[in-house]
A = this chain, B = another copy of it.
Amino acid sequence: MSSGGPSRRVRADAERSTARILEAAEDVLAEDPNAPLERIADAAGVARATVHRRFSSRTALLDALAAHLNERYLRALAETRVATAPPLVALQRLTETIFDLKLCHRFAIQLDAAITPEVLAGVDLLFERLRDAGVITSADPVWCRRVYLALLHEVNDLSADSPTLTALHAGSEVEARINLLVGTVIGALGGTDTTNGLLVRPSLAGD
């Protein structure tokens, strides 16, 4: 959408700045949603004025950030093949992707705006398929989604040396988190512990 016009002068410099500001904003705002723009500027290594040049207002920055996150969510959902892969595998994979991209850490921001109807639909579809497959019993997509997101945050905030995590003695720490989340969600949504036995094996998610 930018390589069209010849008179269009968008210096590579500028694009880099914008990217760094967005990145910094994600980090800073995840810890304090009310952080002043100056702290974001510092974290990005640019002057406060530059932030204002790239984003006309604080709201504009928030909006851009939301759009940016939404884009990554959509990509994560696409990579997961929510609609076609076996639902349990899809759940495992989606969780994996979210942890990899550190997305959970980021949308601690009150960016409900980042969760667009499309993302929502993708997640809802996943849980619908999980239920059809008999993995869970809850039939309410809204409830499933909320439980999933809430537990995602909890698992993410869990300290690395928590007994719950170490007890899983998975290959890596992230793997342990993924397994914990998937198992907990399924249990919360009415899954049987038979499924649980299957879930703790990350090899299931492999291709």
Query: Chain A interface (Cβ within 8 Å of chain B)?
Result: 34, 138-140, 142-143, 146-147, 150-151, 153-154, 157-158, 162-164, 167, 184-185, 187-193, 196
- Take A162-B140, A162-B143, A164-B140 as given contacts and tell me if A151 and B188 are in contact as well, using a CB distance cutoff of 8 Å: yes
Copies in the complex: 2
Contact A190 B188 (CB under 8 A): no
Contact A151 B147 (CB under 8 A): yes
- Take A138-B164, A163-B140, A193-B192 as given contacts and tell me if A158 and B187 are in contact as well, using a CB distance cutoff of 8 Å: no
Contact of A184 among B34, B163, B188, B193 (CB under 8 A): B188
Contact B138 A147 (CB under 8 A): no
- In the complex, the chain B residue whose C-beta lies closest to that of A159 is B142
Contact B163 A146 (CB under 8 A): no
* Chain B residues closer than 8 Å to A167, beta-carbon distance: 139-140
- In the complex, the chain B residue whose C-beta lies closest to that of A166 is B140
| A116 and B191 alpha carbons, distance in the complex (Å) | 34
Contact of A142 among B150, B151, B162 (CB under 8 A): B162
- In the complex, the chain B residue whose C-beta lies closest to that of A186 is B187
Contact of A143 among B164, B190, B192 (CB under 8 A): B164
Contact A163 B139 (CB under 8 A): yes
The winner among A146, A157, A184, A187 for most chain B CB atoms within 10 A is: A187
Contact of A153 among B150, B184, B196 (CB under 8 A): B150
| A190 and B196 alpha carbons, distance in the complex (Å) | 9
* Chain B residues closer than 8 Å to A140, beta-carbon distance: 162-164, 167
| A196 and B150 alpha carbons, distance in the complex (Å) | 21
CB A89 to nearest CB in B, in angstroms, measures 21
| A143 and B151 alpha carbons, distance in the complex (Å) | 11
Contact of A187 among B34, B157, B164, B190 (CB under 8 A): B190
> What are 30 A-B pairs at a CB distance below 8 A?
A34-B34, A138-B164, A139-B163, A139-B167, A140-B163, A140-B164, A140-B167, A142-B162, A142-B163, A142-B164, A143-B158, A143-B163, A143-B164, A146-B154, A146-B157, A146-B158, A147-B151, A147-B154, A147-B184, A150-B150, A150-B151, A150-B153, A184-B188, A187-B189, A187-B190, A187-B191, A188-B188, A190-B196, A192-B192, A192-B193
